[in-house]
């Protein structure tokens, strides 16, 4: 039996290597960028008017002139005008190019316009005010977004602004999600007294769908030869496998031996943790095989603690450790890392984790009351309110 940290290290030294593909910016959100995004020109691309108002030649104003004849209007989206007579002004609109021959913009609120004459109110004017200068934000060819960035709507803003109609991103991995266990029936079936419905597969599938992975669900009966034949085919076709059930010491727990017979190298079986002790992990030809225990909470913990971070690292995303403060004393005796289900609140900026009381590791109802797990190390029995522990959130906290 290995420790949680050893399990993390082993899993993360067997990363997937997603291919690079090109997609339209319209399908890019949620994907990870595989190229840098650079400025295709200066931003702003021209000296840009920042306020609706008039544009003048500051020197004229500074030498005492306060009334200016309006020559014309410079609209946004129109070619650049030129002031013909230095003591005149031009009306200018937000987003427009600053016309030639002017250098200062005074907003409408600070001028009085009657007919075609604009009189500057008695206020302070600075040379160059209300102009967003060419290249002030970013110069041409400067890298705005680095590769290995998760594309969110903010990145879409940049990608579209620089005209990247297609972007290189890492391709979704193909996951096979396999449940085993003869007690399981499909969601749409009425279970017999001794049966329960499949749920783990759908939890994985919805989690992977949400982050844009390509996941397919299978159920295989607890028959060793059937299991072996089906998994053999699945291993050919998929990039990664997530199994649930069949990894304990039971008579129908064929998963570990079937995987090894199929040439999957076992890296570990059993992790010093609760829930999720019987977790098995192996690889074959750069494909990772995660064989998780069957009970819903164990499986959910393993998915969030091991598989998602492995996936983020495979996609070269930076992993941020979140800590949360335990709100109540808690005891756990066995020499195992304990993953405690918690409700998380932001109290004056501090993340506070309150244990959600549960009955057993099979208790799904707790998962919907909690926001995540906190990780309590095995070298202590008593965990005190106020202590900090790593948080594995599985919902947004806002």
- CA-based angle 232:234:238, to the nearest 5? 130
Instruction: Put residue 130 in one of left, alpha, beta given phi > 0 → left and psi -120 to 50 → alpha.
Output: left
| Mask for 236-275, x = binds a copy of itself (CB under 8 A) | ---------x--xxxxxx----------------------
Beta bridge partners of 389: 324
73 contacts: CB under 8 Å, gap ≥ 6: 90, 91, 92, 93
Judged by CB, which is closer to a copy of itself: 96, or 264? 96
Q: Is 138 in the site for a copy of itself (CB under 8 A)?
A: yes
Give the total of residues touching a copy of itself (CB under 8 A).
Answer: 116
**Among residue numbers 168 through 187, which ones bind a copy of itself (CB under 8 A)?**
181-184, 187
CB 74 within 8 A of CB 88: no
Examine residue 359 and tell whether it contacts a copy of itself (CB under 8 A).
yes
**Rounded Cα distance, 88 and 57, in Å:** 8
With H, G, I as helix, E, B as strand and everything else as coil, classify residue 351: strand
- Provide the 10 A C-beta neighbour count for residue 55: 26
Cα three-residue angle 339-345-349, rounded to 5 degrees: 115
Q: Which is nearer to a copy of itself, 93 or 262 (CB)?
A: 93
**Residue from 6, 52, 87, 260 binding a copy of itself (CB under 8 A):** 52
Q: Which 87-126 residues touch a copy of itself, going by CB under 8 A?
A: 91, 93-97, 108
Of 2, 31, 48, 220, the one binding a copy of itself by CB under 8 A: 48
- Of 155, 255, 282, 339, the residue at the interface with a copy of itself (CB under 8 A) is 155
> What proportions of the chain, in percent to the nearest 5, are helix, strand and coil?
20, 35, 45
Q: Note whether 209 binds a copy of itself by CB under 8 A.
A: yes
x-marked contacts with a copy of itself along 4-43 as a string, rule CB under 8 A = ---------------------xx-xxx------------x
Cβ atoms < 10 Å from Cβ of 157: 10
Cβ of residue 108: shortest distance to a copy of itself, in angstroms? 5
Element containing residue 260 per DSSP (H, E) = helix 255-261
Closest CA relative to residue 280, chosen from 256, 257, 251:
256
Q: Is 255 exposed, middle or buried (0-12, 13-18, 19+ CB in 10 A)?
A: buried
296 is a contact residue toward a copy of itself (CB under 8 A):
yes
The binder of a copy of itself chosen from 350, 382, 384, 385 (CB under 8 A): 350
Task: Tell me the closest approach of the beta carbon of residue 294 to a copy of itself, in angstroms.
Answer: 6
CB of 263 to a copy of itself, least distance (A): 26
Residue from the set 199, 226, 283, 354 that interacts with a copy of itself by CB under 8 A: 199
367 binds a copy of itself (CB under 8 A): yes
Rg (Cα) of the chain, in Å, rounded? 31
Q: Quick one: which segment of 63-71, 169-177, 266-274, 388-396 binds a copy of itself (CB under 8 A)?
A: 388-396
């Amino acid at each position: 039996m290995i420790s949680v940290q050893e399990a993390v290290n082993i899993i993360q030294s067997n990363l997937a290597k997603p291919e690079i593909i090109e997609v339209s910016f319209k399908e890019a959100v949620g994907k990870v960028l595989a190229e840098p995004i650079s400025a295709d020109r200066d931003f702003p691309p021209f000296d840009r008017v920042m306020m609706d108002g008039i544009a003048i030649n500051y020197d004229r104003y500074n030498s005492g002139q306060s009334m200016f004849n309006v020559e014309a209007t410079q609209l946004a989206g129109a070619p650049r005008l030129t002031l013909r007579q230095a003591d005149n002004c031009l009306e200018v609109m937000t987003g427009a190019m600053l016309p030639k021959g002017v250098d200062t913009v005074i907003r409408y609120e600070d001028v009085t316009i009657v007919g075609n004459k604009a009189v500057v109110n008695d206020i302070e004017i600075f040379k160059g005010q209300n102009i967003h200068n060419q290249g002030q934000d970013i110069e041409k060819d400067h890298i705005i977004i680095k590769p290995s960035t998760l594309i969110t709507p903010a990145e879409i803003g940049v990608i579209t602004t620089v005209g990247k109609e297609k972007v290189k991103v890492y391709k979704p991995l193909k996951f096979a999600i396999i449940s085993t266990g003869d007690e399981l029936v499909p969601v749409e079936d009425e279970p017999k007294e001794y049966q329960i419905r499949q749920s783990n597969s759908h939890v994985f599938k919805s989690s992977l769908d949400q982050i844009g992975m390509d996941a397919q669900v299978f159920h295989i009966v607890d028959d060793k030869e059937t299991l072996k034949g089906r998994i053999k085919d699945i291993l050919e076709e998929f990039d990664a496998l997530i199994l649930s059930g069949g990894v304990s010491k039971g008579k129908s727990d064929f998963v570990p031996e079937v995987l090894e017979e199929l040439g999957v190298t076992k890296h570990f079986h059993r992790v010093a943790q609760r829930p999720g002790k019987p977790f098995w992990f192996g690889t074959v030809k750069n494909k990772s095989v995660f064989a998780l225990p069957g009970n819903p909470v164990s499986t959910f913990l393993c998915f969030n603690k091991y598989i998602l971070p492995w996936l983020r690292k495979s996609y070269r995303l930076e992993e941020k450790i979140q800590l949360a403060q335990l709100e109540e004393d808690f005891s756990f005796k066995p020499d195992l890392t304990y993953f405690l289900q918690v409700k998380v609140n932001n109290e004056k900026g501090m993340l506070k984790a309150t244990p959600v009381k549960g009955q057993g590791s099979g208790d799904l109802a707790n998962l919907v009351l909690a926001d995540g797990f906190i990780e309590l190390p095995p070298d202590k029995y008593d965990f005190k309110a106020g202590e900090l522990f790593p948080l594995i959130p599985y919902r947004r906290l806002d």
